[in-house]
Amino acid sequence: MQTRNKFFDDMSQMMTNAMGVAQGAKEEAENAMKGMMDRWLADRDFVTREEFDAVRAMAQKAREENEALKTRLDALEAKKG
């Protein structure tokens, strides 16, 4: 027959409770840090990836159109002069 030692039962229960508290504190700290970072990023004028890609595509199209117009203009100037 094995007897249970109240001291070890109490220590085990205390450690289990401490781990629960530590896990809760960790989650709370992570949520607080995420909230701070979200607010900090929102205060900045950062663009989303979608906005960046859209502007980049527009710039690329404008460059291509400028090249085509430059080629046309060079051809017309060569013809004229």
Per the prediction, the chain carries an average pLDDT of 90
Stretches in the chain below the pLDDT threshold 50: 1
The predicted structure's pLDDT at residue 2: 54
Rounded distance between C-alpha atoms, residue 70 and residue 81, angstroms: 16
The predicted structure's pLDDT at residue 9: 87
The predicted structure's pLDDT at residue 74: 95
Our count of domains for the chain comes to 2
Whether pTM > 0.85 for this model: the answer is no
Q: Is residue 2 part of a domain?
A: no
Q: Are residues 41 and 60 in the same domain?
A: no
> Under 8 Å CB-to-CB from 55, ≥6 apart: which residues?
47
Q: Is residue 3 part of a domain?
A: no
Tokens 């950062």 appear where?
46
The predicted structure's pLDDT at residue 75: 95
